[in-house]
Amino acid sequence: MSERAAIILAAGKGTRMKSGLAKALHEANGKPLAWYPIQRALELGCDPVVVVVGHQGDEVRRQLAAHFPGAPLRFAVQEEQLGTGHAVLCARRALAGHKGRITILYGDVPLLERPTLEKLIAAGKGHLVAFLTMNPSDPTGYGRVIRGLDGKVRAIVEEKDATPDERQVREANGGLYDCDARFLWKALAKVDSGNAQREFYLTDLVAAAARAGDPAVAVPTPVDELQGVNDRVELAEAGRRLRRRVAEGHMRAGVGIVDPDAVYLENEAELAPGATIEPNVWIAGRSSVGAGSVIGFGSVLVDSTVGEGVVVKPYSVLEGAVVGDRAIVGPFARLRPGTELGAEVHIGNFVETKKTTMGRGSKANHLAYLGDAMIGERCNVGAGTITCNYDGVNKLPTILGDDVFIGSDTQLVAPVTIGDGAYVGAGATVTADVPAGALALSRAPQVVKEGWADRKRASAKAASSAKGASSKISGKSKASKLAPASKNSAAKSTASKISAAASKASGSKAVAGKTAAARSSAAKTTEARRSAVRASGSKRPRK
C-alpha cells in the first residue's frame, strides 16, 4: 500500500444507454469506460485502487480484473444507489488502515489525461480537498461552484438545490477529488440526504472543508476532459476523441497517417516512425508496426507484430500473427493466430494461414490454406494448395523442408513431410512422406484420343440439324392448326386437293391390282391349253 489510494465510482446502471450491459463495461476505442480512470490511477502510483461496483457487479469485477492482471485492484459493492457520497463510503472497508491521500474518479469519464490529474494532486498537497472545475458553455445539469467574497470556494450546490442566482454561476463542478483520508471519512460520516434528490452528496466535502477553515482548492480543467458518458451518442463521441488523440500522438512521433479521422488505432498500438497507415485501417490490442511498413486500406491487425519494411496490402486481416521484415501480405489475405512469417515471405490474395511458420523467402501467392504447417525457406506453394490438417479428431502437422516446390491444386494430407528440394506435381494428393530431392505424382495418366473432338463436333452438328428439321415440320403443323379464320377457305381447298390426289392414287392402285390378277388368270388358261395339246399329240384334226 502506497501513500496514495484511489476510488473509482462504477456502480451505475446507465439507464440512458438502453442496454443490458453495465455502463462501466461499454467500450470506447476498444476498452471499457472504467478502464480509463483505473489506468490513470495506476499511472499515478495509487495502491490500492478500489472500484465500487453495483449493477452487474460480478461481471464488472471479472472483466476489469482481466484487463489488469497483477494490479493492486480491489472491489467494493454498493448494493443500493444512494448517491456519490454513499458510494465512496462503500469503499471504506477496502481501504482500512490507509492514512494518506485518496483520489476519487468516476468510471464513466474516459477522456481525463494524466497531466490533469498530476495538477490536481499537486494542488491538493497541504490541503484537505482539491477538486477539478470547468466552465462549460451551458452549465445546465452540473453542480455550481459557489465562492465567497474573498474568492475562496465555500460550497458546491447541485442544480436541483440551487437558487436562481446560484444557477447563473458558470463555474461548474468537474466531480473529481483529491482528499486527505482521515478528513474524507470524518466528513462523509456527517453527510445526510436532506436535499432535493434524497441522496448523500460527495460534493458536501467542499462545504465541510470550508467549515474546517481550509477551503477546497479548485483546479480549472478543459471541459472535454471532464465529459462524462451517459448515452450512446456520448459514447461514440468519446471513442472518436480517443482515437483522434491516439492518432495525433503517433503523427507527432513520425508516423504517416493518411486520414487521422478514418483510422481506428487503439491505445496500446505501437507504431514506429516511418510507418504509414492508410484509411479505414483498424489496429487493435497489443499490435505493433515496424519502421517503413505500410498497412493498406481496410486492413485489420489484432494482437499482431509487423516487422520493418513490410507491405500489408488492402483488406488483409492479421490476428495473433508475426510478420517478418520486408514480407508482403495480401491483398485479401488472412493470417490467423499462430502464424509466423519469416523475412521476405510472400502471402498473396485469398491465402489463409493458421498455426503456420514460413521460412525466409517462401511464397504462397494465390488461393491456399496452410494450417498447422512448418514450411522451410525458399519454398513455393502453388495456387489451390491445401494442408488437410484435421482428421475429424486431431489437428495434424505438415512439414516442408527448404526449397520445396508444391504444384497447383495439391492436397497435403497430414501428417506428412516433404523433404528438402522435393517437387510435388500439380493436382497431387500426397498421403505419404516424400524424400528429399524426389518428385511425387498421384494423378491418373493422361489419355489422348485423336480426332475425338472433331467427331464430337460433327455428331453434335448432325443432331442439331435433325432437331432443326423436326422443329420446322412441327412448326408447319402447328401453323396450320392456328391459321387465322380468313384463310380457312384456302386451307379447305388445299385439303380437298390433297384428298382427291390421295383418292386418285388409291384408285390407281386398285386398277393395277385388278389388271395383275387378270393377267395371272389368262396365263393359267393358256398353260392349261398347251398341256392338253401335248397330251393329244398328232391327232389334231386337219382342215
- Please determine, for residue 362, whether its predicted confidence score (pLDDT) is greater than 60: yes
**Are 267 and 250 a contacting pair, CB within 8 Å?**
no
Residue bearing the bigger pLDDT, 80 or 357:
357
- Please determine, for residue 522, whether its predicted confidence score (pLDDT) is greater than 60: no
Residue 478 confidence class, pLDDT cut points 50, 70, 90: low
Q: What is the mean pLDDT of residues 12-29?
A: 93
For residue 23, say whether it is annotated as part of any ligand binding site. yes
For residue 401, say whether it is annotated as part of any ligand binding site. no
Mean pLDDT across the chain: 89
pLDDT score recorded for residue 144: 96
Q: What does pTM read for this prediction?
A: 0.79
pLDDT score recorded for residue 465: 86
pLDDT score recorded for residue 521: 52
For residue 438, say whether it is annotated as part of any ligand binding site. no
**What whole-number distance in Å separates Cα of residue 174 and Cα of residue 218?**
10
Q: What is the mean pLDDT of residues 86-110?
A: 95
Residue 321: which residues within 8 A CB-CB, separation 6 or more? 304, 305, 335, 336, 337, 338, 339, 340, 341, 353
pLDDT score recorded for residue 199: 78
Grid cell listed for 526: 393358256
Instruction: Return the active site residues.
Output: 366
**Are 166 and 189 a contacting pair, CB within 8 Å?**
no
Residue bearing the bigger pLDDT, 446 or 327:
327
pLDDT score recorded for residue 515: 46
Reference 78, options 67, 66, 69, 86; nearest CA is 86
For residue 443, say whether it is annotated as part of any ligand binding site. yes
For residue 408, say whether it is annotated as part of any ligand binding site. yes
Residue 63 confidence class, pLDDT cut points 50, 70, 90: very high
For residue 519, say whether it is annotated as part of any ligand binding site. no
Q: What is the mean pLDDT of residues 430-435?
A: 97
For residue 83, say whether it is annotated as part of any ligand binding site. yes
For residue 39, say whether it is annotated as part of any ligand binding site. no
- 166-175, 189-198, 524-533 — which is least confidently predicted? 524-533
**Are 247 and 29 a contacting pair, CB within 8 Å?**
no
pLDDT score recorded for residue 277: 98
pLDDT score recorded for residue 198: 78
Percent of the chain having pLDDT more than 90? 80
- Please determine, for residue 461, whether its predicted confidence score (pLDDT) is greater than 50: yes
- 109-118, 369-378, 496-505 — which is least confidently predicted? 496-505
Reference 241, options 219, 267, 268, 221; nearest CA is 267
Q: What is the mean pLDDT of residues 139-150?
A: 94
- Please determine, for residue 534, whether its predicted confidence score (pLDDT) is greater than 70: no
Residue 349: which residues within 8 A CB-CB, separation 6 or more? 330, 331, 332, 333, 365, 366, 367
Q: What is the mean pLDDT of residues 263-280?
A: 97
Query: pLDDT per residue over 301-344, tens digit each?
Result: 999 999 999 999 999 999 999 999 999 999 999 999 999 999 99
Burial of 415 (0-12, 13-18, 19+ CB in 10 A): middle
Angle separating helix axes 114-124 and 35-43, nearest 10 degrees: 60
- Could you give the C-alpha distances from 454 to 291, 449, 460, 461, in angstroms and in order? 62, 11, 10, 10
Determine how many CB atoms are found less than 10 A away from the CB of residue 57: 20
- Please determine, for residue 472, whether its predicted confidence score (pLDDT) is greater than 70: no
Residues facing 499 on adjacent strands: none
Q: What is the mean pLDDT of residues 488-504?
A: 49
For residue 298, say whether it is annotated as part of any ligand binding site. no
Determine how many CB atoms are found less than 10 A away from the CB of residue 380: 17
What is the three-class DSSP state of 63?
A: helix
Residue 482 confidence class, pLDDT cut points 50, 70, 90: low
**For the chain, how big is the Rg over CA atoms in Å?**
47
For residue 36, say whether it is annotated as part of any ligand binding site. no
- Please determine, for residue 509, whether its predicted confidence score (pLDDT) is greater than 90: no
**Are 55 and 22 a contacting pair, CB within 8 Å?**
yes
What is the three-class DSSP state of 302?
A: strand
For residue 178, say whether it is annotated as part of any ligand binding site. no
Angle separating helix axes 57-67 and 35-43, nearest 10 degrees: 50
- Please determine, for residue 160, whether its predicted confidence score (pLDDT) is greater than 70: yes
Residue 94 confidence class, pLDDT cut points 50, 70, 90: very high
* Half-sphere exposure at residue 266, Cβ-oriented, CA atoms within 13 angstroms: 21
pLDDT score recorded for residue 122: 96
- Could you give the C-alpha distances from 337 to 53, 306, 319, 354, 384, in angstroms and in order? 34, 14, 5, 6, 21
- Please determine, for residue 500, whether its predicted confidence score (pLDDT) is greater than 70: no
Residue 528 confidence class, pLDDT cut points 50, 70, 90: low
Identify the H or E element spanning 188.
Answer: helix 181-188
Q: Which domains does the chain have, with CATH numbers?
A: 4-225 (3.90.550.10), 232-440 (2.160.10.10)
Q: What is the mean pLDDT of residues 122-132?
A: 96
**Are 96 and 5 a contacting pair, CB within 8 Å?**
no
- 173-187, 443-457, 462-476 — which is least confidently predicted? 462-476
**Are 368 and 386 a contacting pair, CB within 8 Å?**
yes
Reference 105, options 1, 230, 248, 6; nearest CA is 6
Cis geometry, peptide bond prior to residue 69 (ω within 30 degrees of 0): no
Q: What is the mean pLDDT of residues 229-255?
A: 96
pLDDT score recorded for residue 470: 73
